[in-house]
Structure 1
Amino acid sequence: MTGAAVGATVRRRRLRSGVGVTALVIVALLLGYLVVVGVLRSRTLMLPAPTGPHPVGRTITTVAAGGGTEDGARRATWVWYPADSRSADTAPPAEYVPDGWFGPGSLPPAVGLGWLLQDVDAVRSWARRDAAPASGRHPVVVLAPGYENAPWMYSTLGEELASRGVVVAVLVPPTTPARVVDGHPRTTAASSTPPTPAEIDLLLQQEAADMVALHDTLVAATDGTLAGSLDTDRTVFGGHSLGGGAAVLACELAPRCAGSINMDGPQPALPAGAPTRPALLLASDHSCAAVTPCTEQGQSPGYVDWLSRRRTAAPPSTIATITGAGHNAFGDPVHYFVAPPLGGLSGTGSIAPQRMHAVLTAVLHSTVSQLLGGDAGQDARELPELELVPAGG
């Protein structure tokens, strides 16, 4: 073998050795990354503590669906409420995700791989399961979740408002992939594509009917955990995303509705055009549901145009935007761990989680209090992240 051949052989061996070492380093780094992610996603995550004077109870029940559904249709409902302090001291903690409630589609679908996300079994909230309610009669907010979102994603909102004396009843629509109805698990396959505007309108109509039926059940309740504890003479309807649009429509259909809060959702088609009751559209500062032009990614031009036309045709009383918020920040996902580099895909925006929670709960409490004629406390308009924009903007 010539010297040149020997040199070439040595170089090839060194190259293979270098490639092998590089591969081992990459594998070691990947394994280390997965170990670190596994530890971080499984650490106990304590959600923000409610700031109001009341301890919080939570119960899960089932009510009849609205009109136009199949015979015997029922809807699960999660309810957070101000609890009696002595009962709350002895009642067990409410599981963040009870048995039967977790399944495919239970996390914001934009995030992606489940093993890079928060382990929801490690999330802890503050409510006490089926604690006795606090004395007196308490105002009610009927809330609806976003499309394919789970009710436990709104625990921080429910607990905060309940701690301030408000009962929050969250409707669980059939678009929630995993749910329990009358003690029986139900599952619905998560959609691989977002609904079209025509499909959204049908979902809005059904969800609004279900919200009104839920409110009617609360009005008529004579037994159960909260019987005699509800002041349903005037109620606020609210919701996130699809649920926000349904809340606006439900408010038009419910005689006792004082007003609605639409969190980053489309405005519905209304019989009278614009809402006849006070309506707040609360959204991200770049949300296509609230502002034009917008900078949200992943939405087709046709859908963006539809959102804009709906906002113009059914303008809310007030549009307020939260700077730095993302669509998925209107609830618990803003607090979840998301492994890098997927953080930017979580849809929660750039705002700090604690700040988002503080701004959102201040706006909701202030709005609910004003709609119901109570003491609003902090004026949400003083929050620097909150900006009022023209209803047609």
Structure 2
Amino acid sequence: MGLAAAAIIALLLGYVVVVGVLRSRPLTLPAPSGPFPVGRSIVTVPAGSTTPDEPRRAAWVWYPAQPGSADDAPRVDYVPDGWSGPGTLPPTVGVGWLLQDVGAVTAWARRDATPAPGPAPVVVLAPGFETAPWMYTTLGEELASRGRVVALLVPPTTPARVVDGMPRTSPTAPAPPTGAEVDSLIHRQSVDMTALLNAFTSADPPVPVTVDARRTVFAGHSLGGGAAVRACELEPRCVGSINMDGPQPDRAPAKPELLLGSDRSCAAVTPCAEDGAPRAYTDWLVQRRAGSPPTSTATITGAGHNSFGDPVHYFVAPPVGAAAGVGDIPAHRMHAVLTRTLDTTIDELLHHGHIGHVEPGVAAGLPELVRLPD
């Protein structure tokens, strides 16, 4: 073997060792900044859409907890048993060994802690297509620490999930959904979101929290963002929606909607550049936004499509950094901009029923956030 070949092999082995160490280092997510400790429960609720093979849906629920109960309850597992499998990482799953070991990630919530006295407003959250619920832990914990009940719907397209205590799996799609398929998924997910809200206002809620359903916001990421907008139109108790870098539904919203996207995303701006997305789909995103415009739009400079969830905090080895879709914004800045924007927007919707001027109200000290003309 030549010296050049031996040197290359040595470098590759060294690279594998270094990546293995870095991806396995303990990662603690940003601590929630609100006044409440946070509880988390995973429950099953009736579905709204028709699926004979799976008539119920899983939901992850973060909520403000009583301090004493939270102190005594065990900390949650970031990824509980049954919730990890093929397809449950960001798009670079084929080279998962180059990404964060999610078993080394630590969250802050306490498992099934006693809820704080209510009533509390509700934020119904929808994940992206084939995206695991644990990828939204930071958002759920932050909003719950500020006194909101955050209920995340787990669609049946989620590759690995647990329903009624039984692990369930769905094969990942061989290609991204087309525009027509997106509309069908948005419809089903939006109906399930309204059913999830109904479960929390029933006589026997899945988590013993007291909610004020008259003060409800629907929010979602990617495909879930479009579902959130549509669900808000279907649900009279919804005061407004937040669409995080997702497609617009096929009807323009009559209620307030903040479309919050990346400054490169075809979901939010024109011209745009979607890394790896088919041209037909990006053209569809632009056309849909023009035909069903949001009531308010803002972008986060440097964000990537997957930086609206926990992946922005993960370790990603250099060769797949771009493919991970987290942009080039530092994780701590993305966390600050996103959580402050969501908190302020939710507060405006809950208390005033509209979205104010994002730039002077939200972006003070946050130059990454840019308000686009209505």
TM-score (norm 1): 0.91
For 1:298 and 1:339, locate their aligned partners in 2 and report how far apart those are by CA, in whole Å.
18
Aligned match for 2:239, one of 258, 265, 276: 258
Shift of 1:72: 5.7
Aligned match for 1:231, one of 198, 209, 212: 212
Task: Trace 1:247-286 onto structure 2 (pairs within 5 A).
Answer: 247-270=228-251, 274-286=252-264
Q: 1:290 to 1:110 in 2, by over 3 A?
A: farther
Deviations along 1:46-97, one digit per CA (max 9) or x if unpaired, are: 0000011111000000011113332761100000001100000010011000
Shift of 1:136: 2.3
Task: Trace 1:196-215 onto structure 2 (pairs within 5 A).
Answer: 196-215=178-197
Q: 1:286 to 1:111 in 2, by over 3 A?
A: farther
Contact 1:142 1:235 in 2 (8 A): yes
Aligned match for 1:114, one of 96, 103, 112: 96
Contact 2:124 2:197 in 1 (8 A): yes
Aligned length: 369
Q: 1:112 to 1:380 in 2, by over 3 A?
A: farther
Residues 1:28 and 2:10 are matched in the alignment: yes
For 1:180 and 1:296, locate their aligned partners in 2 and report how far apart those are by CA, in whole Å.
32
- Please name the residue that 2:281 is paired with: 303
- Which amino acid in the other structure matches residue 369 of structure 2? L
For 1:71 and 1:220, locate their aligned partners in 2 and report how far apart those are by CA, in whole Å.
24
- Which amino acid in the other structure matches residue 65 of structure 1? A
- Please name the residue that 1:217 is paired with: 199
- Which amino acid in the other structure matches residue 31 of structure 1? L
Aligned partner of residue 158 in structure 1, secondary structure:
helix
Q: 1:149 to 1:71 in 2, by over 3 A?
A: closer
Contact 2:268 2:289 in 1 (8 A): yes
For 1:327 and 1:90, locate their aligned partners in 2 and report how far apart those are by CA, in whole Å.
37
Contact 1:111 1:346 in 2 (8 A): no
For 1:221 and 1:152, locate their aligned partners in 2 and report how far apart those are by CA, in whole Å.
28
Q: 1:348 to 1:111 in 2, by over 3 A?
A: farther
Deviations along 1:258-304, one digit per CA (max 9) or x if unpaired, are: 0000000000012xxx2111001000001000111102222233222
Q: Which runs of 5+ in 2 are unaligned?
A: none
- Please name the residue that 1:92 is paired with: 74
Residues 1:179 and 2:166 are matched in the alignment: no
Q: 1:297 to 1:67 in 2, by over 3 A?
A: closer
For 1:137 and 1:346, locate their aligned partners in 2 and report how far apart those are by CA, in whole Å.
39
Residues 1:384 and 2:367 are matched in the alignment: yes
Deviations along 1:78-132, one digit per CA (max 9) or x if unpaired, are: 0000110000001001100000000011011146401111000000000000000
Query: Post-superposition, which runs of at least 4 consecutive aligned residues in structure 1 deviate over 3 A?
Result: none
Aligned match for 1:45, one of 13, 24, 27: 27
For 1:374 and 1:160, locate their aligned partners in 2 and report how far apart those are by CA, in whole Å.
22
Aligned partner of residue 50 in structure 2, secondary structure:
coil
Deviations along 1:278-331, one digit per CA (max 9) or x if unpaired, are: 001000001000111102222233222211111111111100000000000001
For 1:185 and 1:35, locate their aligned partners in 2 and report how far apart those are by CA, in whole Å.
33
Aligned partner of residue 322 in structure 2, secondary structure:
helix
Q: Which runs of 5+ in 1 are unaligned?
A: 1-18
For 1:322 and 1:110, locate their aligned partners in 2 and report how far apart those are by CA, in whole Å.
23
More displaced 10-residue stretch of structure 1: 347-356 or 101-110: 101-110
TM-score (norm 2): 0.95
Aligned partner of residue 202 in structure 1, secondary structure:
helix
Contact 1:111 1:345 in 2 (8 A): no
Aligned partner of residue 141 in structure 1, secondary structure:
strand
Aligned partner of residue 33 in structure 2, secondary structure:
coil
- Which amino acid in the other structure matches residue 77 of structure 1? A
Task: Trace 1:330-349 onto structure 2 (pairs within 5 A).
Answer: 330-349=308-327
For 1:130 and 1:306, locate their aligned partners in 2 and report how far apart those are by CA, in whole Å.
42
For 2:112 and 2:278, locate their aligned partners in 1 and report how far apart those are by CA, in whole Å.
44
For 1:361 and 1:291, locate their aligned partners in 2 and report how far apart those are by CA, in whole Å.
21
Task: Trace 1:50-89 onto structure 2 (pairs within 5 A).
Answer: 50-70=32-52, 73-89=55-71
- Which amino acid in the other structure matches residue 337 of structure 1? F
Deviations along 1:219-251, one digit per CA (max 9) or x if unpaired, are: 114355324x21111200000000000000000
- Which amino acid in the other structure matches residue 126 of structure 2? A
For 2:93 and 2:246, locate their aligned partners in 1 and report how far apart those are by CA, in whole Å.
19
- Which amino acid in the other structure matches residue 235 of structure 2? A
Shift of 1:256: 0.2
Residues 1:329 and 2:304 are matched in the alignment: no
Aligned partner of residue 103 in structure 1, secondary structure:
coil
- Please name the residue that 1:16 is paired with: none
- Which amino acid in the other structure matches residue 355 of structure 1? R
- Please name the residue that 1:370 is paired with: 348
- Please name the residue that 1:9 is paired with: none
More displaced 10-residue stretch of structure 1: 71-80 or 94-103: 71-80
More displaced 10-residue stretch of structure 1: 316-325 or 340-349: 340-349
Q: Quote the sequence identity (%).
A: 64
- Which amino acid in the other structure matches residue 47 of structure 1? L
Deviations along 1:336-355, one digit per CA (max 9) or x if unpaired, are: 00111211221000100011
- Please name the residue that 1:163 is paired with: 145
Structure whose CA Rg is larger: 1
Contact 1:266 1:311 in 2 (8 A): yes
For 1:250 and 1:225, locate their aligned partners in 2 and report how far apart those are by CA, in whole Å.
22
Shift of 1:374: 7.1
